[in-house]
Amino acid sequence: MTFDSRLHDQIAEHPFPLLFVTISGAHLYGFPSEDSDYDLRGVHLLPMADCLGLETGTETVDRTDVRDGLEVDLVTHDAKKFFGLMLKNNGYVMEQVLSPLVMLTTPEHEELRAIAKECVTRYHAHHYLGFAASQWKLFRKEDPPRVKPLLYLYRVLLTGIHLMRTGEVEANLVTLNESFQLPGLSDLIAAKTGGAEKETVVVDLPHQEREYQRLIGELEQAHENSSLREKPTGAAALNDLLIRLRVQSGKADGLL
């Protein structure tokens, strides 16, 4: 897959070695507008000296830049922080490590993708329920309403339901709707991809609220019926990977 060179330029300027960088946001979710920014997410590795002293190094790097008219938002976490989030039913990091839109990868990234599947639990449903509630609130408070929060609402609900039923992390709304077949959703996606990032939309609000409540109920029921594990089982593997990464970093820095 070929990506815009301006994305690679942003990655190349990162101050630390990178384990992986993937694309998240609207491009991953299947409804980018022509003027959508790019959300790059990943994991970096702090030098060993930054991990051993009294002061911890930069756990999170958050940089937004506009390159020849293209806005690029790059956020990475140090491996220790990211691995910890993987054990806390955090849907964001699961979608990032498993994103099919890979800008930069390493053998350790492939190992991490395999471990990620051991970190999926039935309690990831709470992440998606909370995210859906915030998107619904955002959608309702704007006048006129924008299509983006509405699509985010459907995206997180369908991702959560699909995850509870199958154990698979699928963040692309177009792909998800091939199974769910929600009436009118394709039109909403077309309005977003054919319009602007802040595109407004005219919708039947009572219908949207009924759909929201129905899908909330489906996600809650899918959570109750899910056969997914109660707790993540990938902690030991993550710990082993982190130690190996730190040792490699120490050797590279001449500390070991």
The one-digit pLDDT tens for each residue of the chain (256 residues) are 778 899 999 999 999 999 999 999 999 999 999 999 999 999 999 999 899 888 889 999 999 999 889 999 999 999 999 999 999 999 999 999 999 999 999 999 999 999 999 999 999 999 999 999 999 999 999 989 999 999 999 999 999 999 999 999 999 999 999 999 999 999 999 999 999 888 898 999 999 999 999 999 999 999 999 999 999 999 999 999 999 999 998 888 777 7
CA angle, 166 as apex, 161 and 170 as ends, to 5°?
Answer: 65
SS3 66: strand
Question: What is the distance between the alpha carbons of residues 253 and 256, in angstroms, rounded to a whole number?
Answer: 8
SS3 24: strand
**Cα of 246 vs its chain's centroid, Å:** 25
Q: What is the pLDDT of residue 55?
A: 85
**Class of domain 5-119+232-252 as given by CATH:** alpha beta
Q: What is the dihedral of CA 155, 156, 162, 166, to 10 degrees?
A: 130
Q: What is the pLDDT of residue 92?
A: 97
Domain range annotation of the chain:
5-119+232-252, 124-225
% helix, strand, coil for the chain, step of 5: 55, 15, 30
Q: Which residues are 76's β-sheet partners?
A: 42, 61
145 DSSP 8-state letter: P
CB atoms closer than 10 angstroms to residue 243: 10
Q: What is the pLDDT of residue 196?
A: 84
Of 87, 86, 65, the closest CA to residue 75 belongs to 65
Copy the structure tokens of residue 35.
């003027």
Contact by Cβ (8 Å): 189, 173: yes
Copy the structure tokens of residue 248.
């490699």
